[in-house]
Structures are given as C-alpha cells and as structure tokens.
Amino acid sequence: MTIVHGLDRVPTRTTVAIAGGGPSGTYLALRLAAAGIDSVVLEPRVEIDRLRPRAKTTNARTMSLLAGIGLAERVRETAALPVSYSQDVIFCTSLRGHELRRFHQAFQLIDGDYDLSPECGQQIPQPQVEQVLREAAARSDHITYITGVRASGANPSAMTPSTATLSVAPADDADNGTVELEAKWIIGADGGTSRVRKSLGIAFQGTSAPRPNFNVVFTSARLRDHVSIDPAVQWWIINESTSGMIGELDRDGTWWAILQGCEPIDDPAEVAATIRTMAGVGPDVDIEVLATDSWTARMLLADSYGGRESNGRVFLVGDAAHLNPPWGGHGFNTCISDAENLAWKLIAVHDGWAEEGLLDSYEEERRPVAARMIADAAANGKALAYDFVDPMLDEVGAEGDEVRTRVREALAVKASEFHSEGLVLGYEYAGTSRVAPGPVPFVDAVEYRPQALPGCLLPHFRLSSGTSVYPDARGFTVFVTDDASTYLATEALERTAREHSIPLRVIRLSGTDAEAAREHWGAELVLVRPDLHIAATASAAAESYDVAADGAGTDDASPDAVLAAALLTAVGAAPAGDRSSERSDDSAPRDANHQREAT
C-alpha cells in the first residue's frame, strides 16, 4: 500500500504494531512482511530530514542484512559516494595541511569482493537509507505505514496473554484525542525518548559525555578545489583553533562537519568562519550553512527490553533500548541487528514453529551486545581530535616532524573506531539459552576471527559459483559436506523439524565447496539459525549436550541426534507428543518448508 497520513488512518487491530518508522522499525516491518505478517508502522515525521545526516556509514553486517530483504543494491545506487570514492579515514591538521595518520579500508569499505561478508560497507547518510526502507514499505501489502502520528505508550492494564494495546496520538500533540491500536505484539522503535519504554516504567542507565558537539551541514562550490589531502570518507582535523571532522555528503558541493567539544554557535557567519578555519582555507571560499544541530554523546542502556514488563507482548529495539555515541558508527547498525534478531523470533512464534518463550532470548542475546558496543564507542569518545592537539603540529622542520610522528603513534588508539570487524562481525551469543554448548569464542573489538562455534555468525566464504554460502534466511539451515554424508546423517534432524513444523533446509556441499567449508568452519555438520548465527555444530556439542534431557526423544548421542536436540532448544519446542498447550488459531503452524539441496 502507499503511505497514509493522520490519526483517522490508524486501524483498530493488527498483528504487530511498530512505534517508530526509523531504520530499525521499518526494517523489522519489512522482515515480517517477507514472511506474510501484517504490521502497522506509526511514524511522526511526514518527510525524512535530509539535513540531519546522523549516521553516515552502513557497515558490512547491515548491508548483508539489507541484501537479505533485497535492498542492498538499491542502497548502493542511492549513495552519492560509491565505495570507490574512498575507503579511508584520514587525520590531518587541515584539508590543506599535514596528514598525520590514515586508516585504510575503514568501516569495511572494500572496493571489490569482501571475503568476510557477502557485502562490504557503504558510505551513505542515514536519511537516504531510511528513504529506501520507507519506499520499500510503501510497496508492501503487509505494511500499513502511517505518518503524522506517534505512540503515546503501551497500556499495561490492557495487556492479556495474547494481545496488547497501544495508544496513538497526533504527532504534533494537538488536542485531537487518541485512538487505541490492539496488536499481538508492540514494538517500541520510537527512539531515545521512547514513550513506549517510559509507559512500561523502564529507565535508561548510563552517562553522558562532558562536552557537547556541533553538527553542521553546508554547501560550498569551491572548497573541494582547495583540498590537498587525499579523498577520505572522514577527515579528522586536529588543530589548535577548531578540531573535529569534515566530509562530503555528495560530489555536488554538500558537506558535513562535526565540531567536537564545541558549544552551540547561533550566528551562521561565525559557523562558516569556524568551518573555514578548520578546513584551512580563507574567506574567499564560499560556505553556506544549511543546518546546525548541537548534541551530546550519551552512553545509555535500558534496564530491560520490555518483555518482562509486558508478559512478552512489548519489546524495545534500537535507540529505544540503547543510545550509543557515534564514534565507530555502531548506533544505527546495532539497531538493525536488534530488529533482525527479534524479527526471526516473532516470525517463528507467529507461524507456530517456536514457543512464546523464544522471545525472552531477544533481550538475553541483544542487550549484552549493545553494552559492548556502547563501551567501545565510549572509549573512543575519550580520544577525540582535540585530545591530540599540539601547537607544533604544523611546524616545518625536524621539530614538527618529531611531533607529527608522536601524534601518529598516539592515534593508533583509534583503530577500534575504524577497524572494528571484531564488533561488527564478531558479536556472538555463546552461552545463551537458545544456543548449544561449545567452546568460548575469541572476542576482540578489532580483530575478527571467523569461528564456526555455537552462537557465532557463520563464517563467510564464496561458493565455486561466486555466490555467497549464506542461504536465504527464512528458516534453519544445516550444512553437511559431501564426504561426511556417509557417516554424518541428518535423518533425525529432518524428522524433528517435520514433527515440529520447523522450516529446515539441508544443503550438501561437494567438491571445492566442501573443501572451503572444512577450511573456513573446521566442521562438517553445522546448524544455522535464520539470522545466520550458528545454533550448533556436531563437533562442538556432541560431548556436552544431554540429548535425552533436551528433547530429541532418544539417548542417541550421534551428531544427527545432537543437532536434532539443538534445533528444539533453539526454538524452545517440546518433544513430539509432549506439547503443553494448543495454539490459538492465529498462531497455528503453517506448512513447514523442508528442502534438500546439493551444491
């Protein structure tokens, strides 16, 4: 349907009510729509403000998730700066000064095939990504996208074991009353001031940075001609007068800047003069200020993600659950990963192949990831451009060279901000309740070690056909290598999936693909969840998994039986013939989709 506007367009009931049509809310709606699940998205903004670019990098993991809903190429087509424009973050004394340090291939910007993920990163302002998502939502028959309205809050007193109620009001808070929207689930994706979160009595815990920052969006026809430093997606400027960041939003003269540690500046002429000083250019270079925005970095994490307070009816995603400082670009990207984790679980419960208790694992898995992202970004926030200022940085000669060398070495501390593959691809859910036991994964903010261990993202490689090994994530997938097929059966796993209507694909890898799987995974039988995190491997779980106790229905400790038990654990299902309750009509299992494939 097309996007509609106003309180009178809010229906009385839907399956999933999503408060907030930003990146996480709209991605979640699209992910649900792909599974045929209806949702209503409530978004206060009629138009997306392109002069508030916020996040500017979509990382490799988020781009891969967008590829999963068919939007990665559209995002790249929309981006004004292709990956080939630059893959660097450069620290310098000005745009005409000395280069101090360069971080190449920052934010997983790789001009060519990226081995670690199906997609590399993409430099693109968040509003443009939001526009792509919004346009896709407008094309979906399963999404009702309503602008000009906001959620006033969830109504705890109106919640039942199967429904919840969301109060909806005009976005401008005009005295036009409210309407009630009943839904099976409510999603609070309504940002850092989330009314859904507050209506549940959930507080943020954390701190704020000691100094504010000042965003500027401006145009200049001549600035690019004066830049002597190589192209960069971010130039970090270190000088005594003004320190911060500058970058191009497009190749047509639109720029952004962040003046770090800067109080708000009201006079546009003063803002323009400050930009010129930071860039190292004179008054002959035109600067037209389009928008400014003062902000303070906040490191905040919600006490709960909502499930406990709402009998599993309300969940917080994105900025409603956590606020990240921008250093490292994890905020927007963490929001999308929240939505992915919750989406597949909602689909599983809605379609009847998982128990309601699976939704409890959303907070269990995602809240620690958010805490880790916040901690790393906060650490990077303690080493901003102004922390490296030295009056001798632009000095010509040996003394200046010595100072620049010292600063270059000191800037190594910023590696986790720009080369954070360990955070972007290495976040994991090992040791949580829906993941089979296994070894403790290696964890580091910078270094990413692909590990085929329970809880980890499936290590990526490309098949001999050139396509990604990652499957279409609509259910579980088990990979088995061809030479292992004779002694690693999957009959028990497939039978368990059929009995519980769990969608399962069996992919048998042969030839060079099987060799690549053994090389990258070190395992020959791997069970993967819909979000491409590993539920179990036969080799990791066989010794420690109590098959009989965990529901495979047999005391057989064969790899096949181990994975069958892990599959039931992953969805919280009871053994066949031991289901504790009948499903309601709207959650009855659909026909399972079982496929066997060879490649």
Q: What CATH number is attached to the domain comprising 90? A: 3.30.9.10
Give 96's contacts (C-beta < 8 A, 6+ positions apart). Answer: 226, 227, 228, 229, 279, 280, 281
pLDDT for res 559: 84
DSSP 233-272: SEEEE--SS--EEEEESSSSSEEEEEEET------HHHHH
More confident residue, 543 or 303: 303
pLDDT for res 177: 85
The residue count of the chain comes to 599
pLDDT per position as a tens digit, 186-213: 999 999 999 999 999 999 999 999 999 9
Give 176's contacts (C-beta < 8 A, 6+ positions apart). Answer: 7, 169, 170
Do the strands 88-92 and 99-104 form a parallel or antiparallel pair, or are they unpaired? antiparallel
Task: Identify whether residues 287 and 150 lie together within a single domain.
Answer: no
Question: First vs last Cα of the chain: how many Å apart?
Answer: 38
| Rounded Cα–Cα distance for residues 242 and 244 (Å) | 7
pLDDT for res 538: 83
- pLDDT exceeds 60 at position 465: yes
pLDDT per position as a tens digit, 67-93: 999 999 999 999 999 999 999 999 999
Tokens found for residue 105: 């291939």
Task: Identify whether residues 99 and 187 lie together within a single domain.
Answer: no
| Residue 441 in domain | no
How many domains in the chain?
3
| Residue 449 in domain | no
Task: Identify whether residues 151 and 40 lie together within a single domain.
Answer: yes
- pLDDT exceeds 50 at position 549: no
Cα separations (Å) of 94 from 97, 157, 214, 244, 426?
Answer: 5, 58, 18, 10, 35
* Least confident among 129-143, 321-335, 479-493: 479-493
Contact present, 541 and 436 (Cβ < 8 Å)? yes
More confident residue, 17 or 158: 17
pLDDT for res 274: 97
pLDDT per position as a tens digit, 227-238: 999 999 999 999
CATH of residue 17: 3.50.50.60
Task: Identify whether residues 168 and 70 lie together within a single domain.
Answer: yes
pLDDT for res 236: 98
pLDDT for res 155: 86
Rg (CA), the chain: 25
Q: Name the band, by pLDDT with cuts 50, 70 and 90, for residue 114.
A: very high
Task: Identify whether residues 320 and 373 lie together within a single domain.
Answer: yes
pLDDT for res 580: 36
pLDDT for res 593: 53
Task: Identify whether residues 86 and 76 lie together within a single domain.
Answer: no
Q: What is the mean pLDDT of the chain?
A: 92
Task: Identify whether residues 291 and 322 lie together within a single domain.
Answer: no
pLDDT for res 237: 98
| Residue 187 in domain | yes
| Residue 432 in domain | no
| Rounded Cα–Cα distance for residues 324 and 498 (Å) | 42
Domain ranges, residue 480: 476-598
pLDDT per position as a tens digit, 399-457: 999 999 999 999 999 999 999 999 999 999 999 999 999 999 999 999 999 999 999 99
Q: What is the b/e burial string over 527-549, where b = at least 16 CB atoms within 10 angstroms of the residue's CB?
A: bbbbbbbbbbbbbbbbeebebee
Task: Identify whether residues 495 and 367 lie together within a single domain.
Answer: no
pLDDT for res 374: 96
